[in-house]
Structures are given as structure tokens and as C-alpha cells.
Structure 1
Amino acid sequence: MPFSQCGSLVPRIGDENVVATAWERFLQDRPWSGGGVRDVVLDSWQRCRSEAVDPALRSAPGAASERLRQLQWQNRDLCAAARPVLDGLRDILRECGTLIMLCDQSGTIIDLNGETRARSAGEDINLATGGCWSEAVIGTNAIGTAIATAAPVQIYASEHFCMDVKRWTCAAAPILDPLARTLLGVVDVSGVKESFHGHTLALVMAAAKQIEGELARHDGLLHGRLLARAIDDFSRYASDCVVLFDHRGRVVKTTGSVQSAREQHGVRLPFEIGGQVPGLNLAQPELDRRQQRPEWLRPEWQRLIRDEDGELGTLLVIPLGAARRPPAPSSVKPAAAPEETDPFAEIIGSSESLRMAKSRARRIAPLDLPVLLLGETGAGKELFARAVHRSGSRPGGPFVAVNCGALTRELLASELFGYSEGAFTGARKGGLPGKFEQADGGTLFLDEIGEMPLDMQPHLLRVLQDGIVVRLGDTRERKVAVRIVAATNRDLLAEVEAGRFREDLFHRLCVVSLKLPALRERPGDIEAVIAHLNERLAGKYGCPPKQLSPGAREALLRYRWPGNIRELQNVFEAMFALSEGEAIDDSLLPPHIAADMLAAPPAAALPALPGRLEDLEQEAIQLAISRANGNLSRAARALGIARSTLYVKLAAIKDGAAAR
């Protein structure tokens, strides 16, 4: 072994220069027999090398603010359990100039407290809320190394892998799920290296145990309520396999034969208490749960269990013997709606142009032919591609997406075809499969195909013709079976005529095509999309849906949305996140949309009739129904009244017309 190791739990300050020399020789791949490098540190350096971590990295990457809020919401139980413990730790370390952090299981900092000067110094390397400190992205550090080893660790100064982190010292301990014993997060204390003290490791280890104890107490209370609600159902379905999951998708109780469920229905359930099924984790957004839901998990088997305080968990009733669908018990609610089984249900709207696009996509999906999606940026091409995949002949296969316009020629080649070990400087040890290999048995979505460099196109054409991939730097041929769905916002025929796109590749990709309407071509769908986004963001941010002021609603309905659904989604989420309370008002409109509203001619909403109030009301109702394409529920929402009230008013209008 070129490096000698030593196994101490706490680093020694006196070894700093020795470790620094060893690190330099390690980077140069030169042997070192001087000792002084702890086992845990050397093992971490070797993992960093295998992950091609750049030792010159100046700071950790950071999560976007929206993503950070989502992580904090998904880890709200962990945050709540940790808060009093971390407050106590802060009081102990008040004069030490350190930062106290809580991270999720990926190493992203979701809560941070500490002394102001330490915070300012930490921001230089993104040791701040939202910073990601996984070993794979920022090298050896206490947070990432504790995750990699699932053990407490203290890292001092030169033991860090990346240069600009070497002025820091940190101690971290993993927080484990008290039921499943899987990693939930990490508690960490960090400071500049002068703040090092050996007792810090003991403090974070004690803090992690306290947090685990608080989580266990909280779980015990919730599981008691859950079992009380579900106990009758275990007797009701005594001849079936019944599995009770808590709100995080962990197995709490089972009855019946899981083995029989496996044999009859292909069920792949964890046998042990605490085993988790990600698709049943109610802490995650519904869209994420749906994407993680295993193929064997049928919607009709699931029942949500709730009480007056909210959702407690999921009851899974798997019929054994004569497969029957169990009736919904009184204490539970069906978890699946009919639209969840329709892959196109996530594409919101009922306009004629969208309905025709969906209808054609449904006919195309089972044919297993290459598909070319045509539409403007943000029109929902990837959403259609995913729906075509899930409606096709291999819905259980992988769906892999790559943006051909977002990568350089060299990166795109390695992304699509993969590379072998030593193919280029920095190539990962053992090589890496490309997107074609990753999508084998499923669908490869080539977004922005019109942006692909001309000299790359023959290589793509060969794979499409022969179904054979050769990695960069390799000679071995690998057979792949992949369905291609491509997408572009360009006129590819014009690109062919201009010599920027190969005609033979165009004909290979465009076996069948599907034109997606722009949002401005289906204005009647805008309100339905807004309602859908409102519900989804309410789940994401953990709050009720918000009311739009009339002015804000009118501005969003009038705007032409050149960026289509993507632009509407981004604008509405920003307004939703920035709003205070339960309403979104005109002041939150982006300046360009507010200016567009002011510049527009007055809406033809209510003609200036000198008639009675009821005549004006009738005009408003008719206009709302027209804008909603006859959908009375949407019309009622636009008018700010209940649907039942709208029915009453329509009946009165009808009676009045008959009397005249």
C-alpha cells in the first residue's frame, strides 16, 4: 500500500503538516510511508479520486431557493425534532465561533445557526443554508464523510480534500431513522481551524442521539393514532394480505402472507417492520410519489388513513385467492383517482387543440415508432414524451432525457454514447455508460434535437439504424433497444434545406410527428392550468391554495405567454412563494405582465349598459362561461361564487327568458 494509515477517531493538530504533505503526494499519485493520515481520511480521499472531485473547487454547490424550501418541507419532522436540540447546542457553543447545521440525507444544509463572523466566513465556501456538502461534489468533509461512512467523524484542516476548505474544522454525526435505521440526515458543527476542540465530536454524537430519541417519541404517538384508526380493517380483511404504512411510507404492521402476495401479484414488499416504499411517502409531493411508485403497486389496493389532524398513513389491502377489490372502510379514503391511471392526466386543459394533440398521442404511443414532437419552448414537450412512454409497450422501462442544446459537442458525445476508462483526462475509473445504455428497454427523449451539431448527427444516425452503441475510447459494440422521442422548436425541414440538419436523420426521427399547441392558442386552458398549479404548490409549500385578486387573475388570463406553460409555471410559483397570507394580489405581478395589462385596451368584460344590476350580472355570467369553454366549475371560480349558486342564477336567467 503506497500510503500508511492510522486509525484515530479524533484528529491531532500536530499532524497537520504531515497530512498536508501526504495530500500533495496523494494528488501526484506518489507513495507516502510517513504515516499520520487517519484511515477514515485516506479512504475518503480515495473515494474523491474515484468520483473525480476537483481539489481546486472553491465552494460547495447550492440548491435553488425553491428546491431548498421543498427539502425543508419534506424534512419537516426532522427539522422539528432537531430544533430544540440544536438550540441547546448553540447555547453550549455560543462563545466558540462555530456554525451548527442540520443537513438532509444528501448533505444539503437545511438549517443553520451560529455566530455572525463564522456565518460570514462560511458563506465564502457556501457553508450556508442550501449548500450541498456531499463527498461526491466537495470532497472530504465531516458532513459528506459521515454520510459516506454512516458513522460520526471529525475532519480537521488539511484532512479536507478541496483546497479552500482546508482552513476549516468540522465534526458531524449521522441521524438514523429510529424505526428503519436508515439515514435521515446529519448534525454538524463547523468553524475555522483555530476553533478545533476534540469534545465537539462527542457533542454532535450526543445531539444526533437526542434527535433520534425525539423522532422515536413522535413516531410512537403517530403510530398509536394510525393503529387506532386501522385496527378494525385488519379483522375486516383477515383473508387478505394487509400492510399498514405510516406517513413516511414505512411498514408499521402486516397481516396475511406477504409471500402469497408476491407469488400472486408480483408484489415486492419489504418484509421487516420499518422497511420503506418510496411511492407511499406522504411527505413528498404527489408527482414525486407517482414517479417513484413501483409497477406492482395497484391504485385500487391503497387507502389513505386520516383523522381530524390530517393524513396518518396508507393501508394496503392486497387480495389473496379470488382477487377481489375490497370495499372502502369507513375510516379510510380511496387514494387513487381515475385520472391517476391516465398518463396524459398531468397535461392540463380541455381546449379542442389540446384534446386533439392528446388523442393523436394516445394513438401513437403503442406503435413503438420514433416520434418527433414539434412545439415552442415551454409548450410541454417533455410532459408529452413522458406520457407517450408510460402509454407505450414498455412503460416499466427507464425514461431518460437529454437536452441536445445544453451541452458542448464533446460533452454531448460522452453523454449519449458513454466513455471507457482513460478515454480523456478526468474520465471516471471504469468508464461510464451513456444515455442510450441507460435507456435500454425504455425511452430516450432527445430534447432540442435541432440544436445538435452537424458533425454529431452521423453518429446518432448509426445508433438509430443499427441499435449499436460504441463508447468513446472503446471498440466494444453494445446492443441497445431504445424508443426515440425527439423534440424541437425549430422548423427541421428548413434546417435540412439550409444544410444544418441531415435529411436522412430527419426522416429517421420523424416517422410520426405531433404538433403541440402554444398556450396562447388555447387561452381557455389558462385558468385550469393556474388552478392545477395552485393545488400543486399548496402541497409543495405546505399551505392551503391561495386566492387570486381579480386584477391578478385578469392579467394572467390576458397575457400571451411567449414562454408557454413553463413561463406561466415560473411566474405563478414566484407569485405564490412571495405572497403573504392566503391571497395573491396585483402587486406580485412581474413588471412586464403588469405593464402589458396597463397597455392593453379595456377588456370586453362588461359593456357599459345603462340597464339594471341583474342585466350586468347576467352579462358577467355569460362572459365567464364563455371564457371557461362551458366548464361551469371554472366559471364559478372566476366569478367568485359557489357552483351551486351559479346553477341557481342560470335557472333564474332561463326562467326570466321564458317569461319574456
Structure 2
Amino acid sequence: MPFSRCGTLIPRIGDEPLVASAWERFVQDPSLDVAGVRSVVLASWQRSRSEAVDPARHSAPGAASDRIRRLQRQNRDFCDAARPALEGLRDVLQECGTLIMLCDAGGTILRIDGGSGVRSAGEGINLAAGGCWNEEVIGTNAIGTAIATRTPVQIHANEHFCLDVKRWTCAAAPIIDPLSGALLGVVDVSGVKETLHGHTLGLVLAAAKQIEGELARRDGALHERLLTKAIDSFIRYANDYVVLVDARGRVIRANGNAPLALEMHGVNLPQGIGTQLPGLNLALADIDRTCQRPQWLCPEWLHPVKDHEGTLGTMLVIPLTARQNRPAISLPAAWTPSAESDAFGDIIGQSEILQATKARARRLAPLDLPVLLLGETGAGKELFARALHQASHRSLGPFVAVNCGALSRELLASELFGYVDGAFTGARRGGLPGKFEQAEGGTLFLDEIGEMPLDMQPHLLRVLQDGIVVRLGDTRERRVSVRVIAATNRDMQGEITARRFREDLYHRLCAVTLQLPALRDRPGDIDAIVQHLNNKLARKYGCGPKQLDPAVHQALLSYRWPGNIRELQNAFEVMFALCEGDTIDSSQLPPAIASMVKNSLAIPPSKSMALSSGRLDEMERQAILNAIANSHGNMSMAARTLGISRSTLYVKLAGMRDQPGNS
């Protein structure tokens, strides 16, 4: 037998006896001469031997049905892109008695097609959905060897390492990610050894290239949508380090000072377009993504990028503001930080209701009691929670926040209580402390507590009662000293009545409550908040503060702000970023606010509002009466329309009644 054939790609039927003899010698003693075996096969035998694969193993290991379904879900886009190529192979090979398979990067069969006879035969060695054909578990075979070598390969009969697989022949080609160069999986054609044909390797190679082409086409379309949606964010966060990744966690674009991000936050990002960031593959379960994320990655840096069809990817925004050299923009005197340290100084506004709320919060801060913050979405609950922490005797300890409504039950349990090594699949080596342990000596902020799953609530209750945490998968008790501040926008009494929230947990959480006012209940603070945002954004974008067109100013004062301060902050930053000159005009108003302004202009003015002159007190009286009439007697709405508090409105009404001629 000429040894020159040892490096060929295509096996020959006539070589079977020689290969069989070589395999027997190799299994007995790998140091013996095994000349005549193709180099790709011999190298695979040696890897199989080093992995202690049993040559007598009769079939590949399988996966449970739920794991198969999970793998198929995670690889759904991959399978969809491969479907046309696999159907083309099926049409060509339908009379050949072969199986056509698509496998993931680990060698697990995701999809299989073929006639019932050959499928039945394949099931005997687990050539079926869920079968794992990695070299490490089943030795030399086309799927596993193509994965190990990242090259197309055909393995025939006695070239297989395990005895019961030797009556099969197979050809496989790897599928490579066009963007990152990572191995995505393998396309394979297998049949009993009598179906060997030299063209099979060419067919699977062509199918792999077709799948890679389809993946590149789909990636191009998706990345175009992703970049279109994210372009404003690159402008908005121009002074930070920004990385845009797609739904599979691959870097699409990065912008900013990477060395400064490393210096400030220990950020160590893989370099290059297409590289994958651990923990940002949206196809994985929440808990798997969290376990994969590096320690330096703060969850608050992650911003999902969405369009009407769903989430396209993630924007990672790493703040660099604190260390950047920016042009100095002097603030108005009203916003110069005072010499006194006031933990509540960052909460902007001078309205009576806000001042009363802050005064109550200052009294609650030194008390080491649980506090329940009540208020609408965007009303500043986390801002108050941080201020309560800073004004307490625990201010030198950590402040740790958890959004109970954003996490699944399993992920929330691991986040709060931590886990030990091996507690579940994907658990980080060495385990991980939970948020209670991380907040030791400080404050734990449980946001959206009203959305905590009911079956999780007894575990939280026990920690609050006993001050003891047990990590998932562990029996050891760990004592913690933590102040808990919770927040919700739900009607908790209604949640308790509906049996969605435990009453005993509610009373543990709300030793004291703090009701936060909605922005529409303190319209007099809008000017101050806008002024504060204007100066803050000027520093962020390295420019001067913007002027506001009178129509824009009036629109901001008149709008009801259902999203409260968060909505105002987001809307104003978008207007600021989009404004190319020095003045923000009505063309930059968000659609919802612009529509409100347009509708208000369409209402014909009343006769009383058309008065161009007259006594000031009479004009005020008429304005109050009009506001009450237009709000159908709703005094809160009338006060908001007038831009005054409800108590001020009642004082003015009392004065009007005391005037001569009024009953």
C-alpha cells in the first residue's frame, strides 16, 4: 500500500482491511506502526485515546428532551438559515439512503432528515436529535473530527474509533461565523458504509458555504437595523466608552477611550469587530447570561436596543465622565453645591409637596428601619433610596440595587441569595455571593418589590426576620446586617387582597412608608429640573447650555408627564442632543408632547381669555374659573393647569368668595 495516500481527503473502500488491522494494533498499543492510515484519521485516533474514549462504546450519548428543545431554541436563527441548504441536500440525496444532519458547535444534532429505514438504523447508535458526536465522547467520526480540525472531513467504516460505528460512512463540513470566525456547527451526511461516494464531501462543503452565505446576508440586514436604531445613542454618549453588540453578543461597533475604561473600571474587552462579549448572547437564558458576565460589567451599563420586531442587540455604555477633561461651563448660582453636605440636595425642586417629602425622608434616614417607597414609575424612587442611604449611619457601607420585576424567579433567587459551585448548570466556578451579602453593612434597595414572584416571597421574609442567608445549593447559614429599602408603583393593599403579595412580608418591608409626589403634582419644579438638566447635559456634551423657544418652554410646563422625572429627563436629553444650534425649538419636541401642543392650539379661546386688558385680579379670577370649568370641577387638575398647588388654589378661591359681590 503506497504511503502517499495517508494525507488524502477521500477514503477508499479497498483500504478497509488495512485500516482495520491498523486500528487493532493501535487499540492494543498506540506506539506500534499504523502505517497506511490517513493522517487526519490517525490524529483523531490519538485524540480519542488521550480522551480515554472506550473503543467498545456502542452509541453516542444523548440529551434529555427538554435540553434538546433548549438547544434548538438557542440555535433557532442558525437552524432557520440552514434550512434551504439542508432541503437542497435532501432533494439531491433522497434516493441514496442517507441521513442529513445539522449539529451545533458541541457536536449535538439539532436537526436530522432522511428515510425511515436509515433513521431507524441511525437511532441504534444515537444518530438522532440530541445525540452528541463530539470526538471527546464517541471518538473519530466526521462530525466530531470536523469540529476538532475545523476542516471538511470524510470518515469511512473502519476509520471510526468505536467498534459499533464502523459500519457507517459519513462526511461533514464546519460552518464558520462569517463575522467572528467562530465555529457555529457542522453539516453532515451519514449512511451505512455501502453508501460511500466521493462526491458526498463536496456536497456537504457546498451546503456549509451556502449556510455561511445566508448567515452573512441575514447578519448584514440585522446589523443595518441595529446601527440605525443605535446611532442616536452614539451621539448621546459621545463622551463615554460605547460598545454595540448584536443579539448574539458580537461586537458591531465600539467608540471611545478603551484605555481609560480599563483604568477607571477594570474593563477588559476583547478587541475587534465580531468578537463575542461573554454574557450578552440574548439566545441564552437569563441565568446563563448572568453567570457568564465578567465581574467588571455593571448591569446598569447595559441598554437594550429594540425596534418593532423585538430586541436587536445591546448597547454597553461605560461611563468616563468623571475623568474626562471638559470645557468649563459655569453653573447658575442657584445650583452651585452648598458647603453643607445634604444627601437630598440632588433631588431638585422647591415645591411645598417635595419639600415636605424630603423633610420626612431626612427624619427617616437615621432610623435603621425598613422603608417602603411608594410612587409612580419615574418619580425618583431610587434617587430617594440612595439619599436615605447616604444620610444614614450605614453611608460608608455599600448601596446595592436589585430590580425584582426585571428578573425571572430562578435568576432573582441566585441574585439575592447567591449560589455555590455546581448549584446549577453554568454556575460560576467557586460560586457567587448574593446581593444580601454584597450589601453587608449597607443598604439593599429592592425596586419593583410588588412584582416579586409569590413563591419567592417566603424566602425573602425569612432573611428579613432572621438576618440569615443560605446560598443556593448550600446548607451553610451566613448572617447579614443590611437595611432594606423597597419600592413599588403598585397598590400593595390591592395586591394583598388579590393574594399576589404576602401580608406578613408587606408589614416587614414597610415599617415606615414614604409617598413620592408625581411630577404633575409639582409643576412649579419643572423649570428648576429643566435648568439643572440643561447645565448637566452641557457638561456632558462639552458645549454651552441651550436656550428654550417659548413654545417649547410652555409645552414642557403644560405636559402631564405620565413617566414623571425619568420621562422629562429622557425627552430633554433627546432634544438637547438633536439640537444643532443654540436654541431648542418645537421641531425637536417628542411626538407625544408636540401632539398635545397641537391639540391645545386647536381649542378655540373663550371670550374671557380673549381679554387683552383689564384688572389683574379680575383676569386671575377668570383664569381660575375657566380652569375649574375646563377640568369639570376636578380641583387637582385645575391646579395643575394653573401651575399652582391645590392648597394655593383653595386659598385663592376663599379670597374670591370674600370679595364684594360674590356669594
Range into which the TM-score falls when normalised by the shorter chain = 0.5 to 0.7
Residue equivalent to 1:227: 227
- Letter of the 1:185 counterpart: G
Deviation at 1:232, TM superposition (A): 1.4
* Cα displacement string for residues 457-504 of structure 1 (whole angstroms, at most 9, x for unaligned residues): xxxxxxxxxxxxxxxxxxxxxxxxxxxxxxxxxxxxxxxxxxxxxxxx
Aligned to 2:175: 175
In structure 2, the CA distance between the partners of 1:64 and 1:323, relative to structure 1 (3 Å rule), is: farther
| 1:146 aligned residue | 146
Letter paired with 1:166: K
Residue of structure 2 in register with 1:217 after alignment: 217
How many pairs align? 379
- CA distance in structure 1 between the aligned counterparts of 2:266 and 2:143, rounded to whole angstroms: 39
> For residue 106 of structure 1, what is the aligned residue in structure 2?
106
SS in 2 for 1:322: helix
Q: Secondary structure at the match of 1:102?
A: strand
| TM-aligned CA deviation for residue 630 of structure 1 | 7.4
Question: Structure 1 residue 444: deviation in Å?
Answer: 11
Query: Which aligned segments of 4 or more residues in structure 1 are displaced greater than 3 angstroms?
Result: 30-34, 340-349, 383-386, 400-403, 442-445, 529-532, 620-632
CA contact (8 A) 1:98 1:191 kept: yes
Q: Give the whole-Å Cα distance in 2 for the aligned partners of 1:233 and 1:246.
A: 15
Identify the match of residue 402 of structure 2 among 330, 339, 364: 339
Aligned to 2:258: 258
- Give the superposition deviation at 1:260: 2.1
Could you say which residue in structure 2 is the equivalent of 1:588? none
Structure 1 segment 361-372 matched on structure 2, within 5 A? none
SS of alignment partner, residue 67 of structure 1: helix
Which residue identity lines up with residue 209 of structure 2 in the other structure? K
Per-residue Cα deviation, 1:407-436 (whole angstroms, up to 9, x for no partner): xxxxxxxxxxxxxxxxxxxxxxxxxxxxxx
Which amino acid letter does the alignment assign opposite residue 165 of structure 1? V
In structure 2, the partner of 1:387 is 418
Local SS of the residue matching 2:259: helix
> Which amino acid is the alignment partner of residue 163 of structure 2?
M
Please give the residue correspondences for 1:215-294 in structure 2 after superposition, counting only pairs within 5 Å. 215-294=215-294
Question: What residue identity is the alignment partner of 1:54?
Answer: D
2:448 aligns to what?
Answer: none
Distance 1:400 1:385, change over 3 A: farther
- Residue aligned with 2:322, SS: coil
> Which residue does 2:503 correspond to in 1?
629
In the alignment, structure 1 residue 74 sits paired with structure 2 residue 105 = no
Looking at structure 2, the residues matched to 323 and 528 of structure 1 have their Cα atoms a distance apart, in angstroms, of 44
CA displacement at 1:342 relative to structure 2 = 12
Partners of 1:122 and 1:61 in 2: CA distance = 13
Query: Hey, what's the Cα distance between the residues in 1 that align with 2:269 and 2:28?
Result: 48
Q: Name the aligned partner's letter for residue 59 of structure 1.
A: S
**1:275 & 1:402 partners in 2: Cα distance?**
27
TM alignment of 1:134-533, pairs within 5 A = 134-322=134-322, 338-339=401-402, 387=418, 399-400=421-422, 442=430, 528-529=454-455
TM-score by length of 2: 0.53
Structure 2 equivalent of residue 129 of structure 1: 129
Aligned to 1:88: 88
Amino acid at match of 1:261: A
Q: Give the whole-Å Cα distance in 2 for the aligned partners of 1:529 and 1:280.
A: 28
Aligned partners of 2:149, 2:410: CA distance in 1, in Å? Answer: 42
- CA 1:19–1:63 in structure 2 vs 1: closer, same or farther (change >3 Å)? same
The secondary structure found in structure 1 opposite 2:10 is coil
Conservation of the 8 A alpha-carbon contact between 2:171 and 2:204: yes
Does structure 2 conserve the Cα–Cα contact (< 8 Å) formed by 1:175 and 1:208?
yes
User: Does the aligned pair in 2 maintain the 1:400–1:444 contact within 8 Å?
Assistant: no
Q: 1:115 deviation in Å?
A: 1.2
Contact 1:401-1:444 at 8 Å conserved across structures = no
| CA pair 186-83 structure 1, distance change in 2 beyond 3 A | same
Aligned partner letter, 1:67: R
* Residue pair 2:108, 2:131 contacting (<8 A) in 1 also: yes
Alpha-carbon offset, residue 13 of structure 1: 1.1
Secondary structure of the 1:188 match is strand
User: AA paired with 1:387?
Assistant: G
SS at match of 1:101: strand
Q: Helix, strand or coil: the match of 1:170?
A: strand
Structure with max Cα Rg: 2
Structure 1 residue 623 displacement after superposition:
6.8
Could you say if the C-alpha distance between residues 222 and 161 of structure 1 is closer, same or farther in structure 2, counting changes exceeding 3 Å? same
2:103·2:187 contact (CA, 8 Å) conserved in 1?
yes
Where 2:6 maps in the other structure, the secondary structure is coil
1:155–1:171 contact (8 Å) kept in structure 2: yes
Q: Is the 8 A contact 1:61 1:131 kept in 2?
A: yes
Separation (CA, whole Å) in 2 of partners of 1:626 and 1:211: 48
Q: What is the CA-CA distance between 1:259 and the residue it aligns to?
A: 2.3
The answer as to whether partners of 1:258 and 1:271 remain within 8 angstroms in 2 is no
Per the alignment, residue 50 of structure 1 pairs with 50
CA distance in 2, matches of 1:264, 1:627: 41
Asked if the contact 1:348–1:529 (Cα under 8 Å) also holds between the matched residues in 2, the reply is: no
Structure 2 residue identity aligned to 1:339: V
Shift of 1:117: 0.8
* Cα distance in 1 between the residues matched to 2:30 and 2:410: 57
Are 1:19 and 1:158, in contact at CA under 8 Å, matched by a contact in 2? yes
The verdict on how the C-alpha distance between 1:347 and 1:208 changes in structure 2, with shifts beyond 3 A counting, is closer
The answer (yes or no) to whether the contact 1:248–1:282 under 8 Å persists in 2 is yes
Q: Distance in 1 between matches of 2:500 and 2:224?
A: 51
Q: Could you say if the C-alpha distance between residues 123 and 348 of structure 1 is closer, same or farther in structure 2, counting changes exceeding 3 Å? A: closer
Listed one character per residue, the Cα deviations across residues 593-620 of structure 1 (whole Å, up to 9, x for unaligned) are: xxxxxxxxxxxxxxxxxxxxxxxxxxx9
Give the letter for the 1:36 counterpart: G
Q: Which residue of 2 aligns with 1:20?
A: 20
Distance 1:115 1:186 in 2: 21
8 Å contact kept, 2:457–2:505: no
1:34–1:60 CA distance, 2 compared to 1 (3 A): closer
Residues in 2 aligned to 1:209 and 1:202: alpha-carbon distance in whole angstroms: 11
Task: Map Cα deviations across residues 325-347 of structure 1 (whole Å, 9 max, x no partner).
Answer: xxxxxxxxx9xx94269999957
Deviations 1:206-253 (A, max 9, x none): 000000000111111110100000111112222221110000000001
**Following the alignment from structure 1 to structure 2, what is the Cα–Cα distance between the partners of residues 5 and 94?**
31
Which deviates more from structure 2 when the two are superposed, residues 219-228 or residues 230-239?
230-239
> Residue type matched to 1:45 in 2?
W
Verify the 8 A CA contact 1:344 1:387 in the aligned structure 2: no
- The superposition leaves residues 305-337 of structure 1 with CA deviations (integer Å, 9 ceiling, x where unpaired) of 00010000001111225169xxxxxxxxx9xx9
Label 1:243 to 1:61 Cα distance change in 2 as closer, same or farther (>3 A): same
SS of 2:454's equivalent in the other structure is: helix
Deviation of residue 270 (structure 1)? 1.4
Identity of aligned residues (%): 60
Distance in 1 (alpha carbons) for counterparts of 2:249 and 2:64: 27
Moved more, 130-139 or 29-38: 29-38
Q: Shift in Å at residue 264 of structure 1?
A: 2.0
Kept after mapping to 2: 8 A contact 1:625/1:631: no
Matches within 5 A, 1:503-652: 528-529=454-455, 624-625=498-499, 628-629=502-503
Is 2:62 aligned against 1:62?
yes
Does the CA-based 8 Å contact 2:418-2:432 persist in structure 1? no
Query: For the Cα contact (< 8 Å) 1:4–1:32, is it kept in 2?
Result: no
Q: Deviations over 1:119-153 (max 9, x none)?
A: 00000000001100000001100000000111110
Whichever residue aligns with residue 37 of structure 2, its letter is V
Partners of 2:409 and 2:453 within 8 A in 1: no
8 Å contact from structure 1 (residues 176, 185) kept in 2: yes
Cα distance, 1:402–1:250 mapped onto 2, change above 3 Å = closer
1:317 and 1:402, CA in 2 relative to 1: closer, same or farther beyond 3 A?
Answer: closer
